Amino acid sequence: MGMVGYQWVKILHLIFITSWFAGLFYLPRIFVNLAMDKDPQVQARLIAMAQKLYRFMNILMIPALIFGLILWLYFGVGRSPGTAWMHAKLLLVIFLIGYHHMCGAMVKKFVAGTVTKSHVWFRWFNEIPVVLLTIIVILVILKPF
């Protein structure tokens, strides 16, 4: 794969990352509403939305990670000397994967009716992917170290 292949892998990586983050931003907002509204019909609708969104997020996360690994391992993005920024980014991606799976665990808890967290807790929980995305974009664009 030459330069054109590299550009297409980068494009696909960005499309899947953006799509995955849409879910990472929206699913916790559903959790806020689930924690606030105790109407059984509303709960059922929101739980169904959360389950469907989480399944779709899984589908989006996999190619986002695969295309990122291709950029790193095949094309060597972030593999030359002086690329500590990539190590920091990879650590944050690991945190994102953990956050993603925490969201899946929360969906299961809502289904089981065992969530004890407040809507305020979920509002703070909702900010985590925003912070991680901000730091990752800064690392990728500025490559500060």
Q: How far apart are CA 30 and CA 68, in angstroms?
A: 28
101 is annotated as contributing to ligand binding: no
13 assigned ligand-binding residue:
yes
> Tokens 């690991």, residue?
94
DSSP string across 16-80: HHHHHHHHHHHHHHHHHHHHH---HHHHHHHHHHHHHHHHHHHHHHHHHHHHHHIIIIIS-TT-S
Residues that constitute the known binding site: 13, 89
Residues that constitute the known binding site for heme: 13, 89
